[in-house]
Each structure stands twice: as structure tokens, then as C-alpha cells.
């Protein structure tokens, strides 16, 4: 192979080649599940832009049987005419050229989420096919692409159905690009559309799933805006006051010597809980990491409440003064801005960068919140009293810093006694199994590879951190054991309570619970704890969930058990079995497995199945979070009557 570096070594990628070669540059989440769904979000956002411009009132998203998705709107329709510059149909350019679109100035869209003219062409490049149907002036136009290339040039294929207008884009993500994902997740899509319904105020959004035998169809149509959204976020919590506070106002700001109008909308409602939920949007685009509008809100919110507390003499003498985090404790809040030229961090738009947006939010919240508190003194008093309690709890938590900030996390003299540590002191190869129960912990300790696998058994269910403040959490023995074993501390209020992921003692932390309802509940409580107080573990990919088998099956001709991980697999084995009898062992708990079985099925790096935990794994399963907050969960259906751990089933 030649090692010379010459002019011939330089390659120029044409068209959409670069997108297919380096998809992670253009799609949030790369080729994983996040990137897969980002394709759908890009097309949905285009339809939302038509609604924001005032031309579309209905948007439909359909998940089709073949794995594709279709997004329709009743707006103006994608332009199909030939462009003067280049002589090609506009719709073809939109889907085949990067940085081509109608959102680079305010002529076609005063407010939009699309900025770079990249979304549609990226979706096209990363799909096996994309088909666009446009209904304009009573005619129906169609164009089709395969892997980004035109295979059916735009054509007028006949009259449009009576009254129909707008666009329908149908596409199928390419399995050659997204090798680990093969279907859209209904819950994730539903959540995005639900959010948009609150934020678009009156736009009708329809979601259909045609992949099952029975059609699933939901319609989202909300009028209450950000305030109604905040109330929805607080639906399962006890409210601190009855109705959400709504702040909405257009404000003029200056940018680059020009005056610009920014629409600011904020809805907020405090609950009696402890964790804040704050969602931020710019032009209906979710800004996962916040940005200038979030900073503006927090600054004004803290200043107004501090002034209110001081002027009304609501703080007790000698008590710590609440800080911004104290006032945000238990809040459900939605901050939404609409502006003409938003600037985001990356194509994924995770953070809003416009400083004028922060100025606008700070001004509007500062003025309107002060007025609302004067009009509703009971609300102001309730917020300040809750913040005062939070400040006192923060002081108590600060005193626990010796526990959560260890000088040297690899020194074992502070480790909990129940921890069976590994021999390795290299975090990159060390694993910690957090195991449900002492019995399972005993089997795991005997079956493990002690060179790099550590075992920490937990007794029962840990404290529900959604219903406790930090001071109470740090008094819980099981939580303290995890904090001490993992190292790095925890996230919390104040400079003395923080998490340092570089001090974590294990780069694989594996939750191993029973494959039953109780095990699922314990796993959820642990996930909630890690999400709230050790989130960098999830961000860095250190947190995993073990997948223990639910059944062991043996035929009369087998000596060894075949392990099955769910009921569907068992039914398939039963269906295919030619033996008259099957010996089926149902593992009610990990403690029923001997050390060899536990190693073979769940702990052996060569054969085990681990699920890496992502933020969406925690956020999307709303039923899981609700379970962590005390909601009853239906019991797991069992295929065999559970009269004992061993059953013989006649086939």
C-alpha cells in the first residue's frame, strides 16, 4: 500500500456522499436510536414550520407497516417549479443539495426551526427511499429518491383530491446506515408530537401506527400553550398552588443594530416534589441543553423571588438564604421563544445561543412575574416557604461532603463492608454489579471473576429519590453504600455537593435485578437515582442493565438447560418442541441460580447481554418514572401457573 501523500490523495465528496460516509456529523445521535428518530423529527419540524407560518392547521404522522414513516401537512406544499438559478425543480434541489431551503431569509418563513437547509437532504441521503407528494393548485406532483438519488423525477401525475393541499413526505431509514435500529418507537414519537401540540397552540396533530393488527390513532390538540404544558408535566404530583402561572409577551430587542421582535412564553407550576422539570424550546425545537433563554429565565426568576421574599419579610432570621436552585425545587416549567434567526449549537440544536433571546426572556419574566406575585400573594408565599425548606436541606447536605467527596476514590478504607471489591484498581476494566438481595449477592460473589468484577448487594428497594430531599437521601444506608462504592460523589445543590466522573472507580456499573415486577421496580428506582444524582454515569456510557434469564428449559433428550429471557421465547420453544414433555424452570429471582448459572447467563463477558442505559431510556418510559413515583404497575403475566419454581408442561 502506498504511503505517499500527494495531490491524488485528496478526494472531493459530491452531492450527499459525505452524509452517508459521515452521518454522525449531520444527525444527532449518529447511527443509533437517537439518530434514527432525528430523521423523523427533521421532517416533522418542516411541517411545524408551515404551521408557524400560518399556512398549515393539521399535521399527520403515520408509522407504516413496512417500517417507513409518512408526514403530511395541509400547508402551501413544497415548491415544484423550476429554479431560475440552475434550471432544476426546487423540490429536487431541496432533497439533494445541502444548504438549500427557503429559511435563509424571512420572505417565506418569519419564524422556523430549520436554518441550514440540511435536514431534508440528510433524511433523503440516509433513507433507502424517500417519496414526496405535493398538492398545489389542484394538481398532484410526485418525486422519488433511492439512497439520495432521483429515481422518479418530479411529475404531475394528475388532479389532486378535492380540497387537498400541502405535502406528504414518506421515507424509510436505511438499515445499511442504522444497523442496530429497525423501527420507530411509538412512545418517543408520541412524546415529541404531544410537546408540539402544546407549543403550537391550536394546530391539530395526528399520530397513526399501522404496524399492529389494530390501528392505533391519537389526536393532539391543545389551546393552553406553555401553561397547559406545565400543568401536564405536573399531572401526577401534588401541586403547591392550584393553577399554573402563564407569562407571554412579545418584546423588541436589538441585534446587530436592527430591531427584532421575540415572542416569549413561559408556563410554570410548583409541586410538593423536589426535582425540577424545565423544558426549553426555540421555534418549537427542543433545546435539550437549554441555552440563553434558560439562563435569562433563571436569572429573572431568582431575582424577582429574592426581592419578593425580602420585601414581604418571608425569610426567617438565621435561616440560609435560598439560591436559584432552591426556588426551582419541584418546579414544572416550559420556556418557549420564537425568533426570526435562531442560532443553535450544532445541527442537533441542543442549545440556543442568541443572547438577545436571553435578554428578552429576562425582561419579560422579570416584569410579568413580579406582577403575578403581587396579584397572587398566596402563590408567592408558598414558593418562598418551599425554597426556604430547600435551603435548610441544602445546608444539611453540605455537611455530608466528607461522604460524597473522597480524597482518593481508590482507597478502600472508606468502602462499604458489604462490597466485595475486585482486585483491579484500573477503572477502565473494572465492573461493579449492583445486585438485588443478599442471596443473589452471595451467588454473584462466588461466580464472579474477582480480578475485575465487584459485587454490591442491596437489601430491598432503595429510597425513592423522587419523593425525598437530598438530606434524607444521604441518610439511606443503601444509597450511601452505592455512593461510597462508586466514588465521584453526587450531583446536588451547592459547591460542596458535586459529582466528578473522573473519580469513578468502575467504568461499567451494572444493575442486576430479578426478572420480575419487583426487580423492575428496583431497577427503576436505581435508574431514577442515577439520573438525578449521578447523571454523568449515563452521559459517559458507564451504566448498564443486566439481562438475566426468566426461564430454563430442558427436554428429555437434553442434559443442559436452555436459557430463555422472556415469555415469548418460551412460547416459541413450546410451539416447536416435539417432545411430549418439557422441564421448565422459572427463575423467580437471581438467588435461585447457582454461581455457575449466574456466571454463564449474566456475568460472563463473552456470553452475557448488557443494555447500555441512555438518557432516553430513563425519560421515554414515562410509565417507568411513574412507577418510581409510586404508581402501581400491572403484574407480569406468566405462561405457567406459578405453583413452584419447577413445572412440567405437556405439549
| Mean pLDDT of the residues in the chain | 83
Domain shared by 504 and 452, yes or no: yes
Torsions phi, psi for 91 (to 5 deg): -65, -35
Q: What is the mean pLDDT of residues 429-440?
A: 90
**In degrees, to the nearest 5, what angle opens at C-alpha 389 toward C-alphas 401 and 300?**
95
Written as nine digits, the cell of 111 is 419564524
> Which CATH number fits the domain that encloses residue 482?
3.40.50.670
Dihedral sign, Cα of residue 291, residue 292, residue 294, residue 295? positive
Strands 58-63 vs 204-209: parallel, antiparallel or unpaired:
parallel
- Alpha-carbon gap, residue 249 to 365, rounded angstroms: 9
Q: What is the mean pLDDT of residues 545-572?
A: 79
Q: What is the domain count for the chain?
A: 4
Written as nine digits, the cell of 585 is 424452570
Torsions phi, psi for 307 (to 5 deg): -65, -40
Active site residue 516: yes
- Catalytic residue, candidates 518, 567, 620, 626: 518
Confidence band for 628, pLDDT divided at 50, 70 and 90: very low
In a domain, 5, yes or no: no
Alpha-helical (H) ranges within 22-153 are: 33-52, 90-96, 119-125
Domain shared by 235 and 351, yes or no: yes
pLDDT above 70: percentage of residues in the chain: 84
HSE of 181, CA atoms in CB hemisphere, 13 A: 20
Q: Which helix (DSSP H) or strand (DSSP E) does residue 233 occupy?
A: helix 225-233
Question: Own/partner pairs for 623-628, CB < 8 Å, 24+ apart?
Answer: 624/524, 624/527, 625/466, 625/524, 625/528, 626/236, 627/520, 627/521, 627/524, 628/464, 628/466, 628/521, 628/524, 628/525, 628/527, 628/528
161 is in which domain, residue-wise? 17-220
Supply the pTM of this predicted model.
0.61
Confidence band for 578, pLDDT divided at 50, 70 and 90: low
132 pLDDT more than 60 = yes
Domain end among 525, 546, 567: 546
Domain shared by 211 and 109, yes or no: yes
649 pLDDT more than 50 = no
- Catalytic residue, candidates 45, 421, 514, 616: 514
- Alpha-carbon gap, residue 286 to 352, rounded angstroms: 10
pLDDT above 90: percentage of residues in the chain: 47
Q: What digits encode the pLDDT tens for the residues 281-324?
A: 998 888 888 999 999 999 999 999 999 999 999 987 777 889 99
Domain shared by 426 and 324, yes or no: no
Domain shared by 26 and 60, yes or no: yes
Domain shared by 367 and 426, yes or no: no
Active site residue 265: no
Domain shared by 541 and 557, yes or no: no
Instruction: Specify the range with the lowest mean pLDDT, choosing from 76-80, 103-107, 295-299, 554-558.
Output: 103-107
> Which CATH number fits the domain that encloses residue 332?
3.30.230.10
Q: What digits encode the pLDDT tens for the residues 20-48?
A: 887 877 887 788 888 899 999 999 999 99
Q: What digits encode the pLDDT tens for the residues 534-555?
A: 989 998 999 999 888 888 888 7
What pLDDT sits at residue 99? 64
Length of the chain: 651
What pLDDT sits at residue 235? 92
Domain shared by 312 and 358, yes or no: yes
- Catalytic residue, candidates 34, 431, 436, 616: 436
- Alpha-carbon gap, residue 226 to 361, rounded angstroms: 14
72 pLDDT more than 80 = yes
Q: Between these two residues, 188 and 396, which has the higher pLDDT value?
A: 188
Active site residue 600: no
- Catalytic residue, candidates 34, 42, 222, 516: 516
What pLDDT sits at residue 643? 27
> Which CATH number fits the domain that encloses residue 164?
3.30.565.10
In a domain, 409, yes or no: yes
Active site residue 518: yes
- Alpha-carbon gap, residue 411 to 168, rounded angstroms: 61
Report helix angle 186-200 to 33-52, nearest 10. Answer: 20
Q: What is the mean pLDDT of residues 133-152?
A: 95
In a domain, 52, yes or no: yes
Amino acid at each position: 500500500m502506498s504511503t505517499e501523500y500527494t495531490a491524488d490523495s485528496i478526494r472531493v465528496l459530491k452531492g450527499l456522499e459525505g452524509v452517508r460516509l459521515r452521518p454522525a456529523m449531520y444527525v444527532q445521535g449518529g447511527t443509533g436510536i437517537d439518530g434514527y428518530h432525528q430523521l423523523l423529527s427533521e421532517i416533522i419540524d418542516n411541517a411545524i414550520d408551515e404551521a408557524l407560518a400560518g399556512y398549515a392547521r393539521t399535521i399527520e404522522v403515520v408509522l407504516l407497516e413496512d417500517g417507513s414513516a409518512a408526514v403530511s401537512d395541509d400547508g402551501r406544499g413544497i415548491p415544484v417549479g423550476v429554479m431560475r438559478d440552475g434550471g432544476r425543480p426546487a423540490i429536487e434541489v431541496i432533497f439533494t443539495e445541502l444548504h438549500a431551503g427557503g429559511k435563509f431569509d424571512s420572505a417565506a418563513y418569519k419564524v422556523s426551526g430549520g436554518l441550514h437547509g440540511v435536514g431534508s437532504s440528510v433524511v433523503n441521503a440516509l433513507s433507502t427511499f424517500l417519496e414526496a407528494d405535493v398538492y398545489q393548485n389542484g394538481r398532484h406532483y410526485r418525486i422519488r429518491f433511492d439512497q439520495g438519488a432521483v429515481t422518479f423525477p418530479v411529475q404531475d401525475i394528475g388532479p389532486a383530491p378535492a380540497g387537498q393541499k400541502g405535502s406528504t413526505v414518506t421515507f424509510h431509514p436505511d438499515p445499511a446506515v442504522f444497523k442496530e435500529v429497525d423501527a420507530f418507537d411509538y412512545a418517543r414519537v408520541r412524546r415529541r408530537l404531544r410537546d408540539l401540540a402544546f407549543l403550537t397552540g391550536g394546530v391539530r396533530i395526528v399520530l397513526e401506527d399501522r404496524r399492529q393488527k389494530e390501528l392505533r390513532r391519537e389526536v393532539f390538540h391543545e389551546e393552553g400553550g406553555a401553561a397547559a404544558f406545565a400543568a401536564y408535566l405536573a399531572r401526577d404530583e401534588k401541586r403547591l398552588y392550584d393553577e399554573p402561572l402563564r407569562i407571554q409577551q412579545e418584546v423588541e430587542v436589538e441585534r446587530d443594530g436592527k430591531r427584532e421582535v421575540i415572542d416569549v412564553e413561559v408556563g410554570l407550576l410548583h409541586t410538593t416534589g423536589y426535582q425540577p422539570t424545565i423544558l426549553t424550546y426555540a421555534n418549537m425545537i427542543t433545546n435539550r441543553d437549554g441555552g440563553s433563554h434558560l439562563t435569562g429565565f433563571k436569572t429573572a426568576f431568582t431575582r424577582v423571588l429574592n426581592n419578593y421574599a425580602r420585601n414581604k419579610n418571608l425569610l426567617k432570621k438565621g435561616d440560609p438564604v435560598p439560591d436559584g436552585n432552591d426556588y426551582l425545587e419541584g418546579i414544572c416549567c416550559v420556556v418557549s421563544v420564537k425568533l426570526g434567526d435562531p442560532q443553535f449549537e450544532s445541527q442537533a440544536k441542543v442549545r440556543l445561543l442568541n443572547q438577545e433571546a436571553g435578554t428578552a426572556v429576562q425582561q419579560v419574566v422579570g416584569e410579568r412575574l413580579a406582577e403575578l406575585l403581587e396579584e397572587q400573594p398566596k402563590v408567592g408565599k408558598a414558593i418562598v416557604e418551599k425554597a426556604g425548606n430547600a435551603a435548610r436541606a441544602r445546608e444539611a447536605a453540605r455537611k455530608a461532603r466528607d461522604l460524597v467527596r473522597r480524597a482518593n476514590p481508590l482507597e478502600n478504607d472508606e468502602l462499604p463492608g458489604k462490597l466485595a471489591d475486585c482486585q483491579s484498581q484500573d477503572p477502565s476494566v473494572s465492573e461493579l454489579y449492583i445486585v438485588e438481595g443478599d442471596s443473589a449477592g452471595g451467588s454473584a460473589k462466588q461466580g464472579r471473576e474477582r480480578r475485575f468484577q465487584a459485587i454490591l448487594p442491596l437489601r430491598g428497594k432503595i429510597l425513592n429519590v423522587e419523593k425525598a430531599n437530598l438530606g434524607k437521601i444521604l441518610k439511606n444506608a443503601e444509597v450511601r453504600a452505592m455512593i461510597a462504592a462508586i466514588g465521584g460523589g453526587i450531583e446536588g445543590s451547592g459547591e460542596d455537593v458535586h459529582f466528578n466522573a473522573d473519580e469513578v472507580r468502575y467504568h461499567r456499573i451494572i444493575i442486576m435485578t430479578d426478572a420480575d415486577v419487583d426487580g423492575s421496580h428496583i431497577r427503576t428506582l436505581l435508574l431514577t437515582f442515577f439520573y438525578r444524582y449521578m447523571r454523568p454515569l449515563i452521559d459517559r456510557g458507564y451504566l448498564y442493565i443486566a439481562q438475566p434469564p426468566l426461564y430454563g428449559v430442558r427436554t428429555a433428550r437434553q442434559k443442559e438447560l436452555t436459557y430463555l429471557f422472556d415469555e415469548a421465547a418460551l412460547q416459541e420453544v413450546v410451539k416447536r418442541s416435539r417432545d411430549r414433555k418439557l422441564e421448565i424452570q422459572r427463575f423467580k429471582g437471581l438467588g435461585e441460580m447457582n454461581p455457575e448459572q449466574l456466571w454463564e447467563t449474566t456475568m460472563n463477558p463473552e456470553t452475557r447481554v448488557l443494555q447500555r442505559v441512555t438518557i432516553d431510556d430513563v425519560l421515554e418510559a414515562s410509565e417507568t418514572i411513574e412507577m418510581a413515583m409510586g404508581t402501581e404497575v400491572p403484574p407480569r403475566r406468566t405462561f405457567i401457573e406459578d405453583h413452584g419454581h419447577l413445572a412440567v408442561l405437556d405439549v
